[in-house]
C-alpha cells in the first residue's frame, strides 16, 4: 500500500518511549511510511 501524502522515504526519525503505547504506534507508522533509520529509546 502506498501513501503519496506521507512518503517519508530517506528521512530519519527518532522516537522516544517507543516500547509501548503511543510511541510504539508512532514508530511503527513511521517505519511503514519509509523512514530510513529510526531509534527507539525507552525512557
> What's the pLDDT at 20?
82
2: left (phi over 0), alpha (psi -120 to 50) or beta: beta
As a whole-number percent, the residues of the chain with pLDDT over 70 amount to: 72
Cell numbers given for 18: 517507543
Instruction: Give the domain extent around 16.
Output: 12-41
Task: Output phi, psi for 7, to 5 deg.
Answer: -80, 110
pLDDT at 1 over 70: no
Q: Confirm whether 4 is domain-assigned.
A: no
Q: Confirm whether 16 is domain-assigned.
A: yes
Position with higher pLDDT, 28 vs 42: 28
Q: Confirm whether 19 is domain-assigned.
A: yes
Q: Confirm whether 7 is domain-assigned.
A: no
Confidence bin at 38 (pLDDT 50/70/90): low
Per DSSP (E only), the strands in the chain are 12-16, 37-41
> What's the pLDDT at 31?
84
Provide the domain count of the chain. 1
Q: Confirm whether 32 is domain-assigned.
A: yes
Q: Confirm whether 3 is domain-assigned.
A: no
> What's the pLDDT at 42?
62
CA dihedral 31, 11, 7, 15 (to 10 degrees): 40
Q: Confirm whether 2 is domain-assigned.
A: no
Q: Confirm whether 5 is domain-assigned.
A: no
Amino acid at each position: 500500500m502506498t501513501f503519496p501524502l506521507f512518503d517519508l522515504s530517506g528521512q530519519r526519525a527518532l522516537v522516544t518511549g517507543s516500547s509501548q503505547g503511543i510511541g510504539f504506534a508512532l514508530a511503527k507508522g513511521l517505519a511503514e511510511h519509509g523512514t530510513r533509520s529510526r531509534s527507539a529509546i525507552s525512557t
